[in-house]
Amino acid sequence: MAMDHTAYDAQQIQVLEGLEGVRRRPGMYVGSTGSRGLHHLVFEVVDNSVDEALAGHCRRIDVTIHKDNSVTVADDGRGIPVDDVPRVGKPGVEVVMTMLHAGGKFGGGGYKISGGLHGVGVSVVNALSEWLEVEVHRDGKRHAQRFERGRRVTPLRVVGKSARTGTTVTFKPAPEIFVETDYDSTILAGRLDELAYLNAGLVLTLTDERSGERREFTHKGGIVELVRSLNKNKGALGDAITIHRVRDGVEVDAAIQYNTSYLEHVFTYVNTINTVEGGTHLVGFRSALTRTINDYARRQGLLKNGDVSLQGEDVREGLTAVLSIKLPEPQFEGQTKTKLGNPEVKGLVESVVGEELAEYCETHPTEARKIVAKAVQAARAREAARQARELVRRKNALDVSTLPGKLADCAEKDPTKCEIFVVEGESAGGSAKAGRDRQFQAILPIQGKILNVEKARVDKMLSHEEIRALITALGTGIDKEFNFERRRYDRVILMADADVDGAHIRTLLLTFLYRYMPGLIERGKVFIAQPPLYLIRAGKKNYYAYSDVERDEITADLTKQNVPYEIQRYKGLAEMNPEQLWETTMNPATRTLLQVELDGGELDGAGELDQLFKTLMGDDVEPRRQFIQKYAKEVRNLDI
């Protein structure tokens, strides 16, 4: 083909300007010149290999971090074409490495499926590298070419024979561009593992020559394995539902599995990019779920007459799912370009997921019924919470006249100086009322027996008179309308017998507070009173022991002094008279309180606690017992 020199020169200038532009504004192309951008270079190269895998030509991708923080990405794909590109007059490899956006624009037919952050292509990596070497195994030969700061320094040469095909790219990020040049193998490993889930069967390896560590990532089952591992030990309801369909050139993969928690974990991907801002695919997925489960519930008569219909949030309680779609021309929108905009995708995903889900329900009635039952329970809890909120809103919580009759309020009106004892049982409540300092201590007796603690569910609790009284007394409102500033007391102290029943009512109240007023626990405002276990009478003197160890210490002491004594084991709060209760359990100067804490805090502590509470409320007695023991260890001893 005759070369048009004018066009060629113009092309050359454009190429240089293009890559110079990348070097002038690297952040625009790779996000930043810090750690994020540095790692993005690797992801960009790996994504090119993943495209080969998606096209069905590549089975493994090996990533190596070298001692000098240069990185090699090797695949066993077809190899980047080495023939001259018509009109450009240069080998395909060189065009790919030096022209912006040249990535998927040639080679015929194939579209770029996996995404670099901006789909910028490997030329950006070249432009931002001190040097880059590419090796192509193709047509029985090994070809090599070297670039420095994006510019070709050797032409593409045949350097040997080869019996295989594939592409190997090695590059060293330019130190004048990147402020961070040390690779973090954990970050690379995380993405490679994610890619292994999103591309079932693909083998990815990471070798860190700085430490000698080598890891392999492969997940035969793809996203289903991811969902199963996310649900491990979370009380999965049946096995995961898997969906795999291609419609109108869009590949839809989904894995769905419910667990017994209240949490929703749905991860969505478009062309292997994690679409954290959601988009049309997620909207379609959600409406398919809501519609299909409602349809099934109604047809099977699982929704009672008085029931409200299931809303999106109901069918997503305890849902773990991964949705991964692949389409030729994704439009990414949003702040971080991680929101899918393609409008046609909504209906497409909705119908594919809807059809598959309906089919699953028909063929797996036992599992389907469990899922519906869970959603129905969520809907009832939502309705009960709404009614309770309504109740709280209707009655002005600050208006003393609407306060529950059983509440013995304190005289002090400044909430920061007040505390409330929530006391199990009428008689203990009576002692507490008589023994308290009425200036700042309020008492709310709760009838433990009325609440069937074995079977109580949170939605049932909300419809209960005792719990409503507690909500009104505390004044903060619940759930979405919780407002800490409206609290009527600064400390909520749960006071129950030191026996199994007491432990049950206490954990039940804690479950309630955790679910509907977590803001109180987070702020360290919830406490557990510590009544003594023993009274040791020695003549006119009374000693209180709060543990067996303490009892033994006291009696040993008395024996040493030859003082006769009598031990009484307290079976309940009611056995103490008001003065004793004040002295041992309520007087801030002498009492001990346990402060209830969310464990972990920053490390998904709420999630873990959620799980524990769920365990507690389930039907298994053994996990409940274990929880109570674990919980006892987790509360901090606090002297006030």
- The minimum distance between CB 61 and ligand 0RA, in angstroms, equals 9
Say whether 424 is catalytic.
Answer: yes
Residue from 18, 40, 52, 505 binding ligand 0RA (CB under 6 A): 52
Residue showing the smallest CB distance to ligand 0RA in the complex: 107
Tokens for 535? 């009274």
Sign for the CA dihedral angle at 459, 461, 465, 471 comes to negative
Tell me the CB-side half-sphere exposure of residue 252, using CA atoms within 13 A. 24
Residue 46 or residue 573: which is nearer to ligand 0RA going by CB? 46
Name which of residues 89 to 128 contact ligand 0RA (CB under 6 A): 107
Q: Which residue pairs, CB below 8 angstroms and at least 24 apart, start in 630-637?
A: 631/507, 634/597, 634/599, 635/528, 635/594, 635/595, 635/596, 635/597, 636/594, 636/595, 636/597, 637/592, 637/594
- The minimum distance between CB 43 and ligand 0RA, in angstroms, equals 13
Binding to ligand 0RA by residue 78, rule CB under 6 A? yes
**Within a 10 A sphere around the Cβ of 589, how many other Cβ atoms?**
6
CB 203 within 8 A of CB 216: yes
Rounded Cα–Cα distance for residues 319 and 438 (Å): 48
Residue 144 or residue 266: which is nearer to ligand 0RA going by CB? 144
Cα–Cα–Cα angle for 428, 523, 449, nearest 5°? Answer: 25
Instruction: Tell me the window of 72-80, 218-226, 340-348, 359-367 that interacts with ligand 0RA (CB under 6 A).
Output: 72-80
Rounded Cα–Cα distance for residues 31 and 25 (Å): 10
Instruction: Tell me the window of 78-86, 277-285, 556-564, 614-622 that interacts with ligand 0RA (CB under 6 A).
Output: 78-86
- The minimum distance between CB 103 and ligand 0RA, in angstroms, equals 8
Rounded Cα–Cα distance for residues 159 and 175 (Å): 29
Residue 39 or residue 436: which is nearer to ligand 0RA going by CB? 39
Instruction: Tell me the window of 48-56, 200-208, 255-263, 467-475 that interacts with ligand 0RA (CB under 6 A).
Output: 48-56
- The minimum distance between CB 48 and ligand 0RA, in angstroms, equals 3
Instruction: Give me the catalytic one of 208, 424, 583, 610.
Output: 424
Say whether 94 is catalytic.
Answer: no
Residue 42 or residue 303: which is nearer to ligand 0RA going by CB? 42
Binding to ligand 0RA by residue 419, rule CB under 6 A? no
Instruction: Give me the catalytic one of 17, 390, 499, 552.
Output: 499
Residue from 75, 350, 466, 610 binding ligand 0RA (CB under 6 A): 75
**Residue for token pair 């919780």:** 482
Instruction: Tell me the window of 77-85, 148-156, 250-258, 583-591 that interacts with ligand 0RA (CB under 6 A).
Output: 77-85
Instruction: Tell me the window of 9-17, 45-53, 218-226, 369-377 that interacts with ligand 0RA (CB under 6 A).
Output: 45-53
Written as one letter, the residue type at 167 is: T
Q: Which residues in 86-112 are b (16+ Cβ under 10 Å) and which e?
A: eebbbbbbbbbbbbbebbbeeeeeeeb
Q: Residue 129: in which H helix or E strand, if any?
A: strand 129-138
Say whether 454 is catalytic.
Answer: no
Binding to ligand 0RA by residue 81, rule CB under 6 A? yes
- The minimum distance between CB 291 and ligand 0RA, in angstroms, equals 41
Written as one letter, the residue type at 128 is: L
The footprint of ligand 0RA (CB under 6 A) covers 48-49, 52, 75, 77-78, 80-81, 107, 167
